[in-house]
Amino acid sequence: MQPPPDANPRHRRMGAPLLDCISVAAVALSLAGPAAVRAPAAARAERAGDAVAISNELLHVSIALDKGARITVFEYKPFQENVIYPAESAGGLLMDHVWEQTWPGEFLNRRYEAEIVKSGPDEASVKVWTTGAGETVKGLRFERLITVRDGDRNLYVTVSIMNPTEEGRVTGYWSQNNYWFGNRKEGFAWARPAVRGIDRLGIDEKGEPWFGGAWYYIDDATAGWNGGYHSNLRRGMMFLMDYNDLWRIYDNAAAVTTEWMYDRVAIPAGKAWSTDIVVIPVSGITGFCHGSRYLVANMEVARTNGSLIIEHQLARGVEKVEDITLETRVWGLKAAWTGEVDKVRVPALEDDARSFTVVARNIGPMPAGIEVTMTGKDANGRIVRAVYGDYYGGAEGKNNDPFTMKPYLSFARPPKQKKFLKPDVISYKPHEPPSVLHLRGLWASQFRFEEAVSNCLPAAAMSIGWLESSPVGLTFTWFPPDYPSLLSHDLIVLGNVPAAPFDLVGQEMLKDYIAAGGNVLMLGGDQSYGQAGFSNTELLEFLPVDVGSPYNWRRLERGTQLTVCMPQHPVADGVVFDKQDRVFYSHLCAPRQGAEVILKAGDRPILVLGRTPAGGRIACVLATPFGEADRNERAFWDSPAWQRLMVNTVKWLLHRLPG
């Protein structure tokens, strides 16, 4: 559904008189009732039954311990209202979830414990906590430290998940925040940073959702922020989170909820994961296009004759920034042109947003890209910089070329700087009988791997994690929850599975497993090698082949023969293919230096072996389980020679054959 003109911030009327904005806000506030904001002399905390309050002269926050320790009162003095909608409708800030559990999950209405850590005068802090009971969180302590500082409008939060148990846990944290402005959902909207620019959605004056870009969620965030706002009331709440841990931003217009989910994290026994969130209320702003510790910003853009009128709305983030220069660059995306824009000088950023209008002259046809560079000095005199931007389509509309279906302007996703929690010692030792983990995708059974294990090592223990689709994407029905469980397997088989269900933490664990001397068999298919999307470069370097690019599998010419290249190798012992045995499709993956190519189809490698520095072994099957044999052909997976090859490969991977 397209937004009505007055609901889409891109189409807002520019330069509305300040009196109009104040009048709209005043009407809304009169309906909301008198302000309840307290004004203590300094930061303080106090408890009354199941409620804990923390306040300063700008902010009053109340935490309901019997409702999941959610914030049920959030009053910022310039707003003159409690922005949380009723708790019985799940209103509140900082609600704990894990995304392995569907909403509402076990924490939403859990009674939490609490402790006042500090009560003024410079800051007030409250710690709340509970213990998980579900499968992935059993025994984990979920803790939030919530802080206000004297003279500061921001709310500072540290979320920690501690593992006091004797077993590792893997879980994904999820933060939910339900609030609105003016005691109504109509007119509420969200902005999120994405590859195609600032993605916006909202609720029109009839209460219907509108979508300027993606649906409720985005998986391609380019920065760690998520903001909800009301343009007419000129109010917004910016949430800052750690981009390095961020997985998905989820804003549900129908439910008026502001949420995000984090990458799944492995928490070893005795260790803890933590992340910081900053809640920044902003008055005087009509939307968001940037959020950081130094700056909260928005742009309103309109075209007038041969110019673009750009209204910059700037407010302080977390740090104080002074002596600011704002540079605006505007350029054509289809036609080559560069506009002329004067710089803006700003003495200092303030809590309330201030507007600064610039004119981009000598512009050409739309669409255009807009990039803003803010340079200033922090409280210590150090130079700080923030760079942000957006797409402006004008009459060209959305950021999408209708012929190529690619964006006119793309914004890069910075590489994540991940810090993984790991045991102090990661060590692999072989087991008797051996243990095998098969992470099994579609068509993996065609390779006859499980039959090979049963035939040559009937006492081996076999665990299977099926690839499946869930409400949060692709997952495995089972994956080792910690390093000891992972390292208890002597062989891990990647049976045509992509990187998605591993997440970044699973890829890191698999890399560490190989680095410790573990063994891996990788099978071909439409979700494997170049199509898999593995991003852990250290993991990929262990493989004896270069996985190549997406869609890197091709059909072989009819009649292509299978040839054993190293007949003296133990894996090739007794393997003799008949002339009618065929591989129909295979991956185009080049063997790395030092790899051993055991089998080829024509000139394409089919089975490639490699060894790791710690003594582990890796086998890559580059054939795919696709194609159909003609009358005088036999698919390779039905060949006795292939089944013998699989038995030998399993023995070699489990160190039952010399290598």
Segment 1-54, tens digit of pLDDT = 223 223 333 322 223 322 223 222 332 333 333 344 444 458 999 999 999 999
| Residue 405: inside a domain | no
Q: 65 vs 103, 105, 189, 322, CA distance in Å? A: 19, 16, 29, 40
Q: Are residues 301 and 271 in the same domain?
A: no
Q: β-pairing, 491-495 with 435-440?
A: parallel
Q: Are residues 246 and 343 in the same domain?
A: no
Of 396, 414, 445, which one is at a domain's C-terminal end? 396
Q: 252-261, 470-479, 523-532: which has the minimum mean pLDDT?
A: 470-479
Tell me the pLDDT tens digit for each residue of 531-574.
999 999 999 999 999 999 998 999 999 989 999 999 999 999 99
Tell me the pLDDT tens digit for each residue of 371-407.
999 999 999 999 999 999 999 999 889 999 998 999 9
* CB of 155 closer than 8 Å to CB of 83: no
Tell me the pLDDT tens digit for each residue of 248-293.
999 999 999 999 999 999 999 999 999 999 999 999 999 999 999 9
| Residue 4: inside a domain | no
* pLDDT of 659: 74
* pLDDT of 474: 87
- Whether the per-residue pLDDT at 624 is higher than 90: the answer is yes
Of 283, 308, 328, which one is at a domain's C-terminal end? 283
| Residue 217: inside a domain | yes
Q: 46 vs 57, 74, 83, CA distance in Å? A: 15, 15, 21
* Residue 67's CATH number: 2.70.98.10
Q: Are residues 579 and 638 in the same domain?
A: yes
| Residue 414: inside a domain | no
Instruction: Name every residue whose Cβ is closer than 8 Å to that of residue 471 and which is 6 or more positions away in sequence.
Output: 102
- Alpha carbon distance, N-terminus to C-terminus of the chain: 62
Cα gap 520→507, rounded to integer Å = 13
Cα gap 580→562, rounded to integer Å = 9
| Residue 168: inside a domain | yes
Q: Which residues sit opposite 179 in a β-bridge?
A: 84
**pTM for this model (two decimals):** 0.84
The domain tally of the chain equals 3
* Residue 605's CATH number: 3.40.50.880
| Residue 422: inside a domain | no
| Residue 404: inside a domain | no
Cα gap 176→401, rounded to integer Å = 35
Q: Are residues 47 and 132 in the same domain?
A: yes
3-state helix, strand, coil in the chain (%, to 5): 15, 40, 45
Q: Are residues 384 and 507 in the same domain?
A: no
- Whether the per-residue pLDDT at 228 is higher than 70: the answer is yes
Q: Are residues 459 and 574 in the same domain?
A: yes
Q: Are residues 191 and 315 in the same domain?
A: no
Q: Are residues 371 and 502 in the same domain?
A: no
Q: Are residues 330 and 204 in the same domain?
A: no
| Residue 521: inside a domain | yes
Range of the domain at 126: 9-283
Q: Are residues 351 and 494 in the same domain?
A: no
Cα dihedral 83, 85, 91, 95, rounded to 10, equals 0
Q: Are residues 256 and 147 in the same domain?
A: yes
Q: Are residues 268 and 299 in the same domain?
A: no
* pLDDT of 87: 78
- Whether the per-residue pLDDT at 196 is higher than 90: the answer is yes
